[in-house]
Chains A and B, each alone.
Chain A
Amino acid sequence: MNDRDEILVRIRDLSVTYHTRLGPVSAVDHVSFDIRRGEILGLVGESGCGKSTLGKALLRMIAPPAEITGGQILFEGEDILTFDERRLRDFRGRKASMIFQDPMTSLNPVQRVEDHLVEAVEVHEQKVDRANVLERVATLIERLGIQKRRIHDYPHQLSGGMRQRVMIGLGLVLNANLIIADEATTSLDVIVEAKLVDQLREIRDQYGVSILVITHNIALVAEIADRVAVMYAGHLVEMGSVYQIFDHPLHPYTRGLLRSVPSIKLDDQEELYKMAGEPPNLTHPPSGCRFHPRCPDRMGLCSQSQPQLREVAPGHWVQCWLYQDHPEKESPTLEVTE
């Protein structure tokens, strides 16, 4: 077993519920998956599918009116849902860190870049030698491709890409094992985005961190991720290696999602595929499989009973009746060959 296969985070039956005026909304509904050490895992889905909520739940950053209503998040074998305030604070920053969508606002505007980094170290490490910390911070910032003298700058003096790299640095300075990047490249232009993507991969190689890339941009995932998880309406509907997902998508939703990506090729005369219907209202989710009202392959069974997430090929999991048996199922179960 090599390092890549060792599991860092084990998420089991995780549920997050928003308490709204219209009733409880299960934004994340009994989701289970693993994040391996040193992998880049892409988490994709439409807006509102629960992917950001899931990302926040991994740091227990769920605040009222939302609440984690069940499950376990085992980080290096320990359930972070049982941590008290102090252990949780220690966990955030030292073990896991998060990068947000808007680099313009995620750094304190009146604090220098250097002070952000030094503060993170001083808050988390008991005895620190200031000179030593400054040295560490300067080295890190250079490795992230920011000139050393820029650490004395204020956030507004840096470009968007540089700010995102500072955010990454804030995770790395304490040697976190997991970085959650929530739409971290979305607000950057394509060239800066491409650079940052390269850099995320380099960082993974250098530091051996696991990176969870949460995005609606499936093309980005194709480029960067080792494995991909697809979410729909609070459920994890498909998960597999990047090759499995892109070459042999199984779930009708994943297939629809892949066909909805516009191509830049000029000879592409094909009309862009539009998925029928809208994402469901989660105060009253559809019965059975949550995707059935929009599914081109639906059967009678789909609206009655919810399929389970099943491993249909090594490492390839899907939650769909097409690939599993049921006594009331009328059409044959599809064989998966990859």
Chain B
Amino acid sequence: MSASLRNFLITRILLTIPMVLILITMVFIIMRVLPGDPIRSQLGPKISEAQANELRERLGLNRPLYQQYFDFLWKMIRLDFGTALTQGERPIKDELGERLPATLELTIPSMLFTATFGILLGAFAAKNRKKPIDFAIRLFSIVIYSIPIFFMGLIFQIIFSVRLPILPLAGRMNTLLLTSFKPITNFYVIDSILTGNWPALGSALAHLVMPSVTLGLALTGVYIRLTRINMIEMLQSDFITAGRARGLPEPRLVYRHALRNTFIPIMTLIGLEFAILLAGAVLTETTFSWPGMGRYLVERIQLRDYTAVQATIGVFALFVGLITLVMDVLYAFIDPRIRY
């Protein structure tokens, strides 16, 4: 590793700290600015002022804002999210321990699907520019992009679970199998492999297909369009013409020279898209009754459970920061102009 690459990595990692800090701060501020008293909305209008005050005190809500803020920050650093306000006051950490793997198990295949499928289709369209297949792919990208995720999910459910019942309708696993299933990491696919529970693995995979494809497809349009436009530009660049002039084969020029250069802008997109993917997960999880972070967030917002909401969004922020960091590091490995 060269000194400049090391410097780049150190700078980039250090930059992640203020980024996550700003995100968490925004979450904190938004939660305080939003209308509605969390105590009143929790316990109803009938509780006495003394009871409300007692709860406020217990939660630290009576303290000055800056104290609450630093307290919140300190807890986020130690990954101590407190307990949920409602429904058994379960520690949020335990809740997220179950929910986060569920969401990651959904979003990671989605991300791989959307990136691979989108990039390949985009590159293929660029190579066949202005031919019918290019128009077809472009049309597909617009249509897929403009369909709301939940609507696409419902259509898929009707087709693949109701009309031709080949895929399960919702959930993460067949309820009958779930009784004998022992989660370890809460990634059901990994757990069923670890415990050698093959029927469970089959069920987990079958349940994963529809939600992850739905979520992935919704974002594919962006990848197709971005890859296509960058590829077209790249294929017209001088170094491709020069490569052609020294007799390099066309597939090599397209998929090796042009595509590798096209990855540079796309890498940035993958990082940014991850945030959108998490937002999409909220809708997808609701549509497919997937017990992940997204659905948890929706439930808790409805209950105005601000500690849970705060913690969930905070974890989302951490993940977006982390993925962006990973992408930027990969970026440096692909593009020597950043490395040196």
Contacts and interface: CB of A to CB of B under 8 A. Distances in A.
Interface stretch (A31-39, A88-96, A198-206, A277-285): A88-96
Nearest to B335: A110
B163 to A, nearest CB: 46
A260 interface: no
B340 interface: yes
Contacts of B239: 105-109
A119 B252 CA distance: 11
Interface in B245-262: 245-249, 252, 257, 260-261
- Residue with the highest number of chain A CB atoms closer than 10 Å, among B238, B247, B334, B340: B247
B243 interface: yes
B51 interface: no
Interface residues of B, number: 22
A123 B238 contact: no
Contacts of A170: 242, 246
Contacts of B238: 100, 102, 105-106
Contact of B260 (A88, A105, A110): A110
Interface size class of A (residues with CB under 8 A): 20 to 34
Interface in A23-63: 59, 61
B195 interface: no
Contact of A90 (B241, B243, B247, B334): B247
Contacts of A171: 246
B245 to A, nearest CB: 4
B40 interface: no
Interface string B213-251: 000000000000000000000000111011111111100
Contacts of A59: 245
A154 B246 contact: no
A167 interface: yes
B336 interface: yes
B337 interface: yes
A15 interface: no
Contact of A156 (B241, B242, B337): B337
Interface in B89-107: none
Contacts of A150: none
Interface in A62-118: 88-94, 97-98, 100, 102, 105-111
Given A105-B238, A106-B238, A107-B239, A123 B247 contact: yes
A44 to B, nearest CB: 21
Contacts of A154: 336-337, 340
Nearest to A123: B248
B268 to A, nearest CB: 15
A305 interface: no
Contact of A92 (B237, B246, B334): B246
Contact of B243 (A88, A108, A110, A124): A108
A111 B245 CA distance: 17
B56 to A, nearest CB: 58
Given A88-B247, A91-B247, A106-B238, 10 more contacts: A59-B245, A92-B244, A92-B247, A98-B242, A98-B245, A110-B261, A111-B257, A157-B340, A170-B242, A174-B246
5 contacts: A98-B242, A105-B238, A109-B335, A109-B337, A110-B334
A-B residue pairs, 8 tightest by C-beta: A93-B247, A92-B247, A93-B246, A105-B238, A154-B336, A98-B245, A106-B242, A89-B247
